[in-house]
């Protein structure tokens, strides 16, 4: 239980790239390698561990800007 709370407090920003790779950052802007990988591999763990205030983003192929999305559509 304490480990899950610690993980939740670390996740701040989650980015899904157009090639379905996922990059996760903590509140200091440092990457969190254990949550990174292909979307299919890390999706469930991220959704389970990300705190309510986490920022979910997508970087679509046809758009040059990151888009903030809600957790459900990420």
State the pLDDT at residue 7: 52
Question: Distance between CA 10 and CA 3 in Å, rounded?
Answer: 11
pLDDT tens, residue by residue, 8-53:
559 999 999 999 999 999 999 999 999 999 999 999 999 999 999 9
pLDDT band, residue 61 (cuts 50/70/90): confident
Domain region containing 51: 2-73
State the pLDDT at residue 2: 53
- The domain tally of the chain equals 1
| Cα four-point dihedral sign 38, 44, 48, 52 | positive
pTM: 0.83
């Amino acid at each position: 239980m304490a480990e899950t709370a610690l993980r939740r407090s670390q996740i701040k920003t989650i980015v899904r790239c157009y090639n379905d790779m996922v990059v996760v950052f903590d509140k200091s802007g440092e990457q969190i390698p254990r949550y990174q990988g292909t979307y299919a591999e890390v999706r469930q763990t991220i959704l389970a561990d990300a705190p309510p205030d986490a920022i979910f983003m997508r970087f679509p192929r046809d758009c040059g800007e990151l888009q903030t999305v809600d957790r459900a559509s990420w």
